[in-house]
Structure 1
Amino acid sequence: MNATVAVTAAPVLPPPTRDIAQGLRNIADFGFTIVPDVLTGDALTATRDALYRAAASDRARGREQHFGLDYAHDSSNQRVWNVLSRDPLFEDLAFHPVAIAYVKALLGWPALLGNLSANITGPGGGEMVLHADQIFMPEPWAADPQGMNVAWCLDDFTEANGATRFVPGSHKLNRAPRADEADAPTVAMVAPAGSIVVFESRVWHKTGFNRTASEHRAGVFGWYTKPIYRAQENWFLSLRPEVRQFASDDALVLLGYRAEGLGLVHGISPA
């Protein structure tokens, strides 16, 4: 693939699909896919409310963290860490059957849950720097992704309110964007609340500007990797004990408590 194709082609969104085979084709072609109506009704409302409560708690206790063009001064955008421990509802996101089906299809099994965090853009919030999530690997990158995100849209993601923006096809370049590519054409990940967006670790993306006067846009991002990489969140220190206590077999693998080949204790899995 020519190195300029991905950043000059007119950016487009693949049509949303609930068919995983088509979703995987979208990821292969574009670097991402949208799955509609995964979280609906009362479950969507309760999960959204739980995230905004967690964000308000961080602000009230002086634990608020920001992101955007300038982390020190852009107070309109808030990052919420260790979401998995904030409310049991978030376990349903991290270990959701649709999310895990994509993890197994895209990364193989076993895999690890690197973190579960949230981004909330507020009115007037600035955009993030264009980046790819696979910067932990030397370039050129391998021809298959080493990680992936499952982004849960708890509010409508729109062009106006700072929806994540992608450079479709940029994953095929197998490298991070250069400084002179910071303004590459992007497309907003427009998706209604309750959708998930699955995107692989090499695709270029950024949080968009929130140009609205009053809208907040919240998304929870599950980051998964192949099992050879260290998790971003240290679950052994940060996780609520009951999450592990009642975790499914797949969840124990994703959290690193049940191991295959790596992380063994006296040659066997610790769980």
Structure 2
Amino acid sequence: MNTTQHDAPRRYGISEQVQSTNEIERTCESIRQLGYGVIDGGYSHEQLATLADAFDRTQESYASRHGGVDALRSIDEHDTIRLPLAHDPAFLELATNGRILDICSRLISGYSVLNQQNGIINPPNGKQYNQGAWHRDLPYQHFVSSRPLAINALFCLDAFTLQNGATMVLPASHRQEAFPSDHFVKTQALSVAAPAGSFIVLDCMVFHSGGVNTTSKPRRAVNHVYTIPLIRQQINLSSALGDDFTDDSKLRRLLGYDVREPGSVDEYLARRPKKP
């Protein structure tokens, strides 16, 4: 229920207040304050079924293309699909979800670049997987910034529940440089349940972890990280996708075509805008 003038919390001595009047603004406020939020992706049951089919097909073809499941398991990559948008256009649509790009435009100064997209499988029956440890999505970094440098949008292809390993977060840990004490982690960690079709959106500096999936079915998700252009992509998308992947200028900017490193001084100078 929306808060109105009549049921607003009592207060005094307050002359300034953040305004959040719609789902996008409320999610942004939650991310700023707590480091995370949940928002519906706007997909129908039919669209979710199409995405689920695409995920399962891509998982199978991805393993075949990269040496098989055993080869991927030997490098702890068997529960991950790297860059699924290169395999199926359904995942490109997911990476350009209008609600997520709106959130990124409000939280990240300037414009954002898609740093990575990965399909993630949380295996059944309590098996460990590589996302089941506390981390930031800018790993090994122990600093905080006044504005987000990167946003994580984790798409819940399946519902995230306490039973199948819902993502755990340490609220407001994006405001503290060091990882909290073990006691704080044990007492303050929260599991974020979310329905299928929603995004769990994080400030990438908030500490989080995948939970343990105790059910008999794998829990599927697609992770996206959007960053300021200064941060290097996990995979160089312009090289991976090829220069003729798209001629849409906005999509090329999102995918990082505009921030490729010059290979020489001549190439750098050729990119400099000419003065009128």
Matched, 1:226 2:231: no
Show CA shifts across 1:55-112 (max 9, x none).
1223345344899xxx75979x711101110100111111111111011111122221
Residue 151 of structure 1: CA displacement? 1.0
Residue 254 of structure 1: CA displacement? 1.3
Structure 2 counterpart of 1:119: 120
Change (3 A) 1:179 1:259: same
Show CA shifts across 1:154-207 (max 9, x none).
111111111211111211213445778665642222111111111111111011
Show CA shifts across 1:188-233 (max 9, x none).
2211111111111111101111111x22111101111111111111
Matched, 1:172 2:206: no
Unaligned runs of 5+ in 2: 1-20, 263-267
**8 A contact 1:149–1:221 mirrored in 2:** yes
Structure 2 counterpart of 1:7: none
User: Which residue, 200, 203, 206 being the options, matches 2:203?
Assistant: 200
User: Which residue, 32, 35, 40 being the options, matches 2:39?
Assistant: 35
User: How far apart, in 1, do the equivalents of 2:190 and 2:75 lie?
Assistant: 26
Amino acid at match of 1:266: R
Matched, 1:26 2:27: no
Structure 2 counterpart of 1:101: 102
Structure 1 counterpart of 2:4: none
Matched, 1:257 2:262: no
User: How far apart, in 2, do the equivalents of 1:179 and 1:258 lie?
Assistant: 42
Matched, 1:132 2:136: yes
Question: If the length of structure 1 is used for normalisation, what is the TM-score?
Answer: 0.79
Q: Report the 3-state secondary structure (helix = DSSP H, G, I; strand = E; otherwise coil) of the residue aligned with 2:37.
A: strand
User: How far apart, in 1, do the equivalents of 2:186 and 2:235 lie?
Assistant: 30
User: How far apart, in 1, do the equivalents of 2:188 and 2:71 lie?
Assistant: 25
Question: If the length of structure 2 is used for normalisation, what is the TM-score?
Answer: 0.77
User: How far apart, in 1, do the equivalents of 2:165 and 2:26 lie?
Assistant: 27
What is the correspondence of 1:87-98 to structure 2 with a 5 Å cutoff?
87-98=88-99
Show CA shifts across 1:100-149 (max 9, x none).
10111111222211011111112122261111122364x33222221111
**8 A contact 1:147–1:201 mirrored in 2:** yes
Structure 2 counterpart of 1:52: 56
**8 A contact 2:38–2:199 mirrored in 1:** yes
User: How far apart, in 2, do the equivalents of 1:120 and 1:59 lie?
Assistant: 13
User: How far apart, in 1, do the equivalents of 2:56 and 2:134 lie?
Assistant: 26
User: How far apart, in 2, do the equivalents of 1:57 and 1:240 lie?
Assistant: 20
Change (3 A) 1:41 1:229: same
User: How far apart, in 2, do the equivalents of 1:184 and 1:232 lie?
Assistant: 33
Structure 2 counterpart of 1:267: 272
Unaligned runs of 5+ in 1: 1-16
User: How far apart, in 1, do the equivalents of 2:240 and 2:257 lie?
Assistant: 13
User: How far apart, in 2, do the equivalents of 1:166 and 1:235 lie?
Assistant: 29
User: How far apart, in 1, do the equivalents of 2:271 and 2:208 lie?
Assistant: 42
Q: Report the 3-state secondary structure (helix = DSSP H, G, I; strand = E; otherwise coil) of the residue aligned with 1:48.
A: helix
Larger radius of gyration: 2
Q: Report the 3-state secondary structure (helix = DSSP H, G, I; strand = E; otherwise coil) of the residue aligned with 2:206.
A: coil
Change (3 A) 1:111 1:196: same
Change (3 A) 1:211 1:113: same
Show CA shifts across 1:218-262 (max 9, x none).
1101111111111111112212666424xx3322111122359x8
**8 A contact 2:144–2:175 mirrored in 1:** no
Change (3 A) 1:201 1:113: same
